Structures are given as structure tokens and as C-alpha cells.
Amino acid sequence: MERKSNRRAKESEEKHGASEGSEQDKDYTTSLVTLNVGGYLYITQKQTLTKYPDSFLEGIINGKIMCPFDADGHYFIDRDGLLFRHILNFLRNGELLLPEGFRENQLLAHEADFFQLKVLSDAVKSKWEKEQLASRETTFLEITDSHDRSQGLRIFCNAPDFIAKIKSRIVLVSKSRLDGFPEEFSVSSNIIQFKYFIKSENGTRLVLKEDNTFVCTLETLKFEAIMMALKCGFRLLTSLDCSKGSIVHSDALHFIK
């Protein structure tokens, strides 16, 4: 008799536990929302969409704003579905995080205004204004021989962050070929000075060892600069010294977006 009572009690506990688990699963499921934004489906939690009171999304979730449904019963919002990922990421992270090279600030600002997210709209517009100011500033990087400044390469670009990026890359390439002789060049804000450039039959070489061992050529550095610029979406505007006959032999490169 006692064994039967224990068995019934155990079965009752298991049923109760299963019931609680089912209720928790149900609560979690109902907290999820699927949005159809311009044909793109996004699944997120209600608390994410209601993070900013009086926003468009908070109004939809809390029934303040009427929103149509698509054929599958999902909220349908007739806006840019691709850009909405940045709206949703902002709601999740609480800050503006955009991929490198993002160029649709004006469109994203319009989307932020539509969704009534003033904090996001202000952040996008601020970023856009800074980029506009930076685009008006032409900056440069000079790679030169400390003994003869006529030997070298100048890189011009209207994006200071790209100049910083390309400078660090050139330093990295040079160090990788110096074989333990980093004192053979110095770096300042806009200038990389190598200790020695010499002329040879094969072109200009950087000779950084007493035995004149080949380390790197200016052509290598030009190639690095051009490849990085193209990968970052820049185009070579012109070779500033066309008298040299080709980009490889030019003294300057000018990149612009």
C-alpha cells in the first residue's frame, strides 16, 4: 500500500513538472515575434521591440498602432528589409554598430525616423556628418629614404582612417622582411622613413643589411597599397606623376571613393 502511494506521488510530481515545463515553453514561444519587413523575415523577442517607449515597434507590439499581417500571420512592415537588420541590432545592443565601409547613412537615418527611434537617428546623422567632414580632408602618407627624400612614394587619400590602416599594413609588411632589424626604419604621423634606398638594375630596393641582402622593393609597397585600396572600395583616381609612364614607376598614388 505504501509503495503504491509513493508511486502515485512520484507520478503526480512528474506530471506537475512536465506541466510547468510546458507552460514555460509556451511563455517563451509567445514572447517571440516574427516581423516581415519588406519581404525579409526577422524573429526576435517582444522585449527587444518594446525597448524604446513610444517607438513605432513598441506601438505595434502593445496594440497602439494598427499593423497589417502577411499571408502567414506575421506583422508586415513595408520598409527596407535589408536595412532593418541595423535597426534590430541597435535595439539589441543599445548602440550603433555598422559594418566597415557602410555607405547608406542617409537611408538608415530615414528608416530610424520612420521607426521613431530618435536616439538611433541622431547617432546615424552624427556619423554621417563626421564622414562628410573627413571626406573633404585630403590626407597623405609618405614613404621615403631618410637620406634622400626624392626617393620614395606618396599616397594621397580623402579618408584618414584608410591612411592609418595602410600605414600599419606597410609597417607590418616591412617588419616581416626585416629579419630582426626594426631599427632600420622610423614611423611618424604621416611619414615612414627607411634608412636606405639604393638603385639597382632591377629597380629601387630597400637594403637593410650590411651584406646588401634584398629585403623589399618600393614596387611591393605600391602593390600592397593598391590592393588594400581596391579591397576597401577605393579607386585609383590618377597617378600624380604621369611622366613616369606607369603606376608602378610613379612617385604618388591618389585614392578616392
pLDDT digits 0-9 by tens, 83-139: 999 999 999 999 999 987 788 999 999 999 999 999 999 999 998 887 776 665 557
Cell of 159: 579618408
**Position with higher pLDDT, 116 vs 243:** 116
Superfamily of 29-134 according to CATH: Potassium Channel Kv1.1; Chain A (3.30.710.10)
Q: Give the helix ranges, DSSP H, for the chain.
A: 2-30, 46-49, 56-61, 84-93, 105-114, 118-135, 160-178, 218-231
Q: What are the residue boundaries of the structural domains of the chain, listed by start?
A: 29-134, 139-256
Decide if 105 contacts 120 (C-beta within 8 A): no
Which DSSP symbol is given to 248?
T
pTM above 0.85, yes or no: no
Q: Summarize pLDDT for 124-177 with one digit per residue, the tens.
A: 999 888 777 666 555 778 777 666 666 677 888 877 778 888 888 777 766 665
Using pLDDT thresholds of 50, 70 and 90, give the confidence band for residue 199. Answer: very low
Cell of 212: 646588401
Q: What angle do CA 133, 136, 139 make, to 5 degrees?
A: 110
